[in-house]
Amino acid sequence: MVQKQGIPSSTKFMHFENIVGEGSSWRLQSRQHSCRGPRIAILVVIEADTGIEFYKHAMSSIACYARVWKYDFRVVNSSDYRNECPHKDKYFRRHCVAARILSAYDYILFLDADIGVVNPKKRIEDFLDAKAEMIFYDRFFNWEVMAGAYLAKNTDWTKHFLDEFANYEFRLPKSFHGTDNGALHAYLAEVILGVNNAGLAPCLYVYAKSKNFDDLFMYEACIRKLLGNTTHFGHIKILRKGTAWARDNWMTNSLWNPERDFMMHNWKFTQLRTYKSTPLPVARQQFRGARQARPFFSGTGQAPAHSLNEARSLPGKSRNETGQDAGAASFQKILASSTHRLIKFLLSRAAPLMHCHTCCDVTQSTLSVAGGKYFLERP
């Protein structure tokens, strides 16, 4: 396999980068090398002890997709960049590594290792925006901006942004901080708001006192309220819920819609279930944090619904007196309603995850060229 100059890849994962033969029978107009266009790489940063078996289906689907569209698929061991990225937390170190890899491409699509492709007819180019240098997206089940999947443009500003994001490790509060997922929100607020950061202090207070996921989700909601209900923030773009390249697979129990879906998150080997011929039923989910985390937007996402002070338990008052239980119930109703609408739309033309019209046959050990479909072989 030909290595990109100056970009070491994990020898453990090298077989993912060139695995689909030229004789693939999948009928799709793939991009030719002579075609002028942005140089795009899909990047997954792993550790020396990362278990390949845990992510094999997701990563194999990415490898197949990248081969068809002539994207580079880089699987990089972060320990190869220890000198340049001395971070102790692997979740922060990977963003420093991304800044190093970015120099060799026009764009990189950074992905968690458990994100896989279900609809290879979608193109990464469809999500590029000439006005944005960093593109994130909102997750569906809470107010969180996804830290484990973003599009980065090769500019000095972007590389500085990623380096400073990684360096937030050294500014973390001594609390339940959520590593890079939590830190991203405070960092986004700093970059986007600049000196006009009135209102940030209460959010950071919640972050500093966070003890669990419920507190963390409240802090993230506070930041999102502060940033406002828009998508463009100068160099940064945050795609609205359901409009990005990936979403969590449990939202529709791994069913996907060929008109809207592209990639699925949380595609881990331990979560795979036996599939025969009957479609998997859609299970109603109990949304984590819905009982304690408070909404800062109405159901339309326009006007504030509750204040940060209302969300806290006040000394000397019961939960009923503060209205926290009523607010939590309201949040759960809003979240359930919006999620129901999403699921209804996605299932209107849904297909089981195993019936993806792509180019490969995914088995427990490798990818092989096949015509038309791949199927997940599950023990």
Q: Give per-residue pLDDT as tens, 193-245.
A: 988 888 899 999 999 999 999 899 999 999 998 998 889 999 999 999 888 99
User: DSSP class of residue 236?
Assistant: E
pLDDT digits (tens, 9 = 90+) for 231-254: 999 999 999 988 899 988 777 777
Report if residue 104 sits inside a domain: yes
- Number of CB atoms found within 10 A of residue 132's CB: 22
State the chain's maximal CA–CA distance in angstroms. Answer: 72
Domain-embedded: residue 334: yes
Instruction: Specify the pLDDT at position 2.
Output: 38
- Judge whether residue 90 has pLDDT over 70: yes
Domain range for 136 is 11-17+38-272+284-369
Closest by CA position to 65, among listed 98, 109, 106: 109
Q: Is 10 exposed, middle or buried (0-12, 13-18, 19+ CB in 10 A)?
A: buried
Would residue 336 count as lying in a domain? yes
Domain-embedded: residue 278? no
DSSP string for residues in 146-201: PSSEEEEESSHHHHHHHHHHHHGGGG--SS---HHHHHHHHHHHHHHHTT--TTHH
Determine the pLDDT at residue 91: 95
The dihedrals phi and psi of 288, each to the nearest 5 degrees, come to -65, 135
Domain count within the chain: 1
Domain assignment of residue 33, yes or no: no
* DSSP state for residue 353 in the 8-state scheme: G
Are the C-beta atoms of residues 215 and 312 closer than 8 Å to each other? no
Burial class (CB in 10 A: 0-12, 13-18, 19+), 11: exposed
Phi, psi (deg, nearest 5) at residue 127: -105, 0
pLDDT digits (tens, 9 = 90+) for 136-185: 999 887 889 999 999 999 999 999 999 999 999 999 999 999 999 999 99
Residue-averaged pLDDT of the chain: 72
Report yes or no on 26 lying in a domain: no
Give CA torsion, residues 65, 70, 75, 81, to 10 deg: -150
In a domain? residue 375: no
- Domain presence at residue 23: no
pLDDT band at 115 (very low <50, low <70, confident <90, very high): very high
Please indicate whether residue 9 or residue 368 has the higher confidence score (pLDDT): 9
Q: How confident is the model at residue 5 (pLDDT cuts 50, 70, 90)?
A: very low
**Buried b or exposed e, range 348-373, using 16+ CB within 10 angstroms:** eebbbbbebbbbbbbeeeebebbeee
This prediction has a pTM of: 0.69
Predicted confidence at residue 325, as pLDDT, reads 46
Task: Output the pLDDT for position 272.
Answer: 64
